Amino acid sequence: MIRIGAAKRHPFILLALSGLLVCGAVWAVRGNTAPAESAAPSPIKVAVATVASTPFTYYLDTIGELEAVQEVSVPAEVGGRIVELPISSGQRVEKGQVLIHLNDARQRGERTRLQGQLENAKARLDRARQLATFSAMSKQEAGDAQSDYLTAKGGLQALEAEIDQLTIRAPFAGTLGIRQVHLGQYVSAGQTLINLVGSQGFYVNFSVPEQALAYLKTGGSVEVILDSLPDQPATAAITTLDPMLDRSRMINVQARLQQAPDAALPRMFARVRVPRAGTQEVLTVPETAVTYNAYGEEMYVIQSGTDKQPPTAHRVAVKTGERRDGKVIVETGIRQGDRVVVAGQIKLSDGAAIEAVETSVLDPLNANAQAGSNP
């Protein structure tokens, strides 16, 4: 037994004894306790969606151009100086409305003279017919009177036609383009004066390969999307199939838009989608579900977990097809009802434990936001 007085004289002895007691306690505890299992990594939060079977129509895509059902570049039929210009650029006009009036002073004077000649010729013809009734005039003289009358009448009609050509009228109701001439300007025969576009709608003209003839028929529908108005798709009915292929083995097709966008204009470029076959059922997933590596396309398919184990994500090679509206057709690699990762793949490895966040296949942006909230 160690006495207190000795302990005070030897403090190092007390320290040594305390250390031995602590070490013994630790050894006892470790000897009776099993090694703790290493903590499992936390599941990775990802957005998932279910593979769905979707009705899908395959299309043949081509490029077309709009043409107004009624459109014309109004020309001058004869030369002359503009004396009346009662129109403005962009004005709405009715059929037969005067657009431009050229100087016709000389023609109106000539018309007065020819009208007088016609009246004289008519009087001589009437007198000749009366005399011929009583055989008081030879047939030759009566024939000359008839010829003079017809000549005078024809001359007046020709002049009336020339006067009519000096007044340019709208051939149909529509909207004028930008005026290309001015009051007092001299114009030549054939010169374009102004453009006029009718309000009867639009055609879309496009070409397709000869192999597409199997999908085309008069009355069939095509989808039209204008490059400048992509959010206003329209439907057009095929009206004409050219009876002859061009040199490049393409067939020209014309379809009439059933309801064109209000802002549509002639010459606008359009994307035309021709249905290739009937609707088919295909497997689709959001485009964001597909990832790429050196060997091709792949996606992560979710394997359900248990009460003690979380679900896991497994890498699967797939083959995809056509893409449309944020979705992609999956031809091989998955089945209907499979759950796939649509956002958060960058954190995953094959077989990784995950925490699934269900999301709409129509809302990939929301899916990324949900997956990104993983701590």
pLDDT tens, position by position, 90-122: 999 999 999 999 998 888 888 888 888 888 888
**Cβ–Cβ under 8 Å, residues 59 and 273:** yes
- Average pLDDT of span 145-149: 81
Closest CA to 197 of 66, 326, 39: 66
Torsion of CA 92, 98, 99, 102, to 10 degrees: -170
**Cβ–Cβ under 8 Å, residues 63 and 272:** yes
Q: Does the structure show a pLDDT above 70 at 6?
A: no
Provide CATH code, domain 44-55+280-371.
2.40.420.20
Q: Does the structure show a pLDDT above 70 at 58?
A: yes
- Residue type at 240? T
Mean pLDDT of all residues in the chain?
A: 82
pLDDT of residue 369: 44
pLDDT of residue 12: 55
Which residues does 65 contact at the CB level (< 8 Å), separation at least 6? Answer: 204, 205, 206, 267, 268, 269, 270
Domain ranges of the chain: 44-55+280-371, 61-69+197-275, 104-165
Q: Does the structure show a pLDDT above 80 at 360?
A: no
CA dist 225 and 263 (Å) reads: 13
pLDDT of residue 357: 81
Highest-confidence segment of 3-17, 120-134, 214-228, 293-307: 214-228
Which residues does 84 contact at the CB level (< 8 Å), separation at least 6? Answer: 98, 100, 101, 183
Three-class DSSP category at 146: helix
**Cβ–Cβ under 8 Å, residues 270 and 65:** yes
φ, ψ for residue 29, nearest 5 deg:
-65, -45
Closest CA to 71 of 173, 193, 188: 173
Provide CATH code, domain 104-165.
1.10.287.470
Give the whole-number percent of the chain exceeding pLDDT 90: 30
pLDDT for 336-353, tens place per residue?
888 888 888 888 888 888
The CA-based angle 285-59-263, given to 5 degrees, is 100
Residue reference for tokens 């100086």: 81
Fold of 61-69+197-275: Elongation Factor Tu (Ef-tu); domain 3 (2.40.30)
